[in-house]
């Protein structure tokens, strides 16, 4: 959807189905070259996949890929499109790329463990997020490492109605 702000700037709204929730929107201020990602992208934790409100791991990845499709990197990856996360510091395309890759890797690790017949407790014990825990992990608060792994496991164990992988 294209809107025009009171200052005359074109504003693009994108709705990504089943990302963090089923109601996520990404806002692109075209002239300013700023993307407001909301809780689809955060720098302070693993993503919160709110399955009770329509969120899914693949929808999260699709939304992160949309951000990457829109964002323009500057020379040497510093600058370019500013990305405003739902929580954390202002970022650029490279930060979103790193986050998307982390989510993809964790998803693939959990999917592999599911295919090998591991239970949720076994997957948690295997620590599929270990190399990212220093940056994104937490044992307390709203989004915990265990909660993220559990959400990915549950989502991948019940893949009905999944968004198409890009």
Residue 158 pLDDT > 50: yes
Domains of the chain: 2-157 (3.60.15)
User: What is the pLDDT at residue 2?
Assistant: 64
Cross-strand pairs, 82: 34
Tell me the pLDDT tens digit for each residue of 123-141.
Answer: 999 999 999 999 999 999 8
Question: What's the predicted TM-score (pTM) here?
Answer: 0.88
Taking CB atoms within 8 Å and a gap of at least 24, the contacts of 52-56 are: 53/21, 53/22, 53/23, 54/17, 54/18, 54/21, 54/22, 54/23, 55/18, 55/19, 55/20, 55/21, 55/22, 55/151, 56/18, 56/19, 56/155, 56/162, 56/163
Tell me the pLDDT tens digit for each residue of 55-113.
Answer: 899 999 999 999 999 999 876 666 689 999 999 999 999 999 999 999 999 999 999 99
């Amino acid at each position: 959807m294209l809107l025009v702000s009171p200052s005359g700037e074109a504003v693009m709204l994108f709705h990504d189905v089943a990302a963090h929730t089923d109601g996520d929107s990404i806002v692109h201020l075209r002239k300013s070259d700023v993307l407001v990602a909301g809780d689809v992208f955060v720098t302070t934790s693993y993503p919160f996949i709110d399955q009770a409100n329509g969120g899914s791991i693949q929808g999260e990845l699709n939304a992160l890929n949309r951000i990457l499709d829109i964002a323009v990197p500057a020379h040497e990856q510093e600058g370019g499109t500013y990305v405003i996360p739902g929580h954390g510091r202002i970022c650029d395309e490279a930060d979103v790329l790193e986050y998307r890759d982390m989510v993809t890797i964790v998803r693939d690790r959990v999917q592999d463990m599911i295919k090998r017949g591991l239970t949720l407790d076994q997957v948690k014990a295997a620590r599929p997020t270990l190399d990212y825990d220093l940056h994104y992990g937490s044992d307390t608060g709203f989004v915990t490492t265990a909660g993220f792994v559990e959400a990915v496991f549950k989502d991948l164990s019940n893949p009905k109605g999944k968004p198409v992988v890009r």
